[in-house]
């Protein structure tokens, strides 16, 4: 698994920032089954049933003890509010590299930059969300890395966070709601997670 220092910078002329005006539609990249870009769609439209296959990313960051950084999505989120999920996730803007998008959203949501960040493969899934009626039809780029800074979450994005061991995650997952995509992306990223954290961390 290639690991690269992450500085949170974005690349590509289409990259945008958190300060973009709210009245501008957020556009996503539509892709085919092989992950090739075939067009764009507005964010909410891409998630309305039956869903349009689009590019996404998921980030899993670990501290030096091998604990996974989870976040609980803010209650004001339009999709999956108030549920626990992986460190950060989202969608690259059209023309934005997934790695740059992953670093950008980690900074926007949690106010930190990973000390290391590496690619961990891709996973394609179709997960309807029974609560909202929206559909996660995604070609997801996975990233794993290390974090040494204390999160400073944006309250509009993140309700709370926690660093958990595998056993703590299992207990939390049994007791609290998680995002519909969480276990799919976690299981797909496990080989890279084990390479990063070592066998003693238990992932």
pLDDT tens string for the chain (203 positions)? 544 344 433 333 333 333 333 568 999 999 999 999 999 999 999 999 999 999 999 999 999 999 999 999 999 887 789 999 999 999 999 999 999 999 999 999 999 999 999 999 999 999 998 888 899 999 999 999 999 999 999 999 999 999 999 999 999 999 999 999 999 999 999 999 999 999 899 99
Sequence-separated (6 or more) residues with CB below 8 Å from residue 187: none
- 1, containing H or E segment: none
Beta-sheet strands, E only, within the chain: 3-4, 27-31, 37-42, 54-62, 68-73, 84-85, 88-90, 116-128, 135-146, 158-164
- pTM for the whole thing? 0.87
Count of alpha carbons within 13 angstroms of residue 166, beta-carbon side: 13
Taking a C-beta distance cutoff of 8 angstroms, is the pair 27, 41 a contact? yes
Looking at residue 12, the DSSP 8-state letter turns out to be S
Task: Provide the annotated active-site residues.
Answer: 89, 138
> In terms of DSSP bridges, do strands 54-62 and 135-146 run parallel, antiparallel, or are they unpaired?
parallel
Q: What is the DSSP string of 64-83?
A: TT--EEEEEEPTT-SSSTT-
Surface-to-core class of residue 7, CB atoms within 10 Å of its CB (0-12 exposed, 13-18 middle, 19+ buried): exposed
Taking a C-beta distance cutoff of 8 angstroms, is the pair 194, 203 a contact? yes
- Pairwise CA distance, residues 118 & 150, whole Å: 20
CB-based burial, 90-125: b 16+ in 10 Å, e otherwise: bbbbbebebbbbbbbbbbbbbebbbebbbbbebbbe
User: Which pLDDT score is estimated for 23?
Assistant: 66
């Amino acid at each position: 698994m290639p690991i690269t220092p992450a500085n949170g910078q974005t690349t590509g002329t289409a990259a945008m920032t958190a300060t973009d005006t709210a009245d501008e539609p957020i556009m996503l990249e539509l892709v085919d089954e092989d992950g090739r870009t075939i067009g764009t769609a507005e964010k909410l439209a891409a998630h309305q049933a039956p869903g349009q296959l689009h590019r996404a990313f998921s980030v899993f960051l670990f501290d030096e003890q091998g604990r996974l950084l989870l976040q609980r999505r803010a209650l004001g989120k339009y999709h999956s509010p108030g549920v626990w999920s992986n460190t950060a996730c989202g969608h690259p803007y059209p023309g934005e590299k997934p790695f740059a998008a992953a670093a950008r959203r980690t900074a926007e949501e949690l106010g930190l930059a990973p000390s290391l960040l590496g690619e961990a493969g891709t996973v394609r899934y179709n997960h309807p969300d029974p609560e909202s009626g929206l559909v996660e039809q995604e070609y997801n780029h996975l990233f794993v890395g290390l974090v040494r800074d204390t999160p400073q979450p944006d309250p509009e994005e993140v309700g709370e966070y926690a660093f958990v061991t595998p056993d703590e995650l299992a207990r939390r997952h049994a007791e609290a709601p998680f995002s519909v995509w969480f276990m799919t992306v976690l299981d797909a990223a496990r080989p890279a997670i084990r390479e990063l954290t070592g066998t003693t961390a238990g992932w």
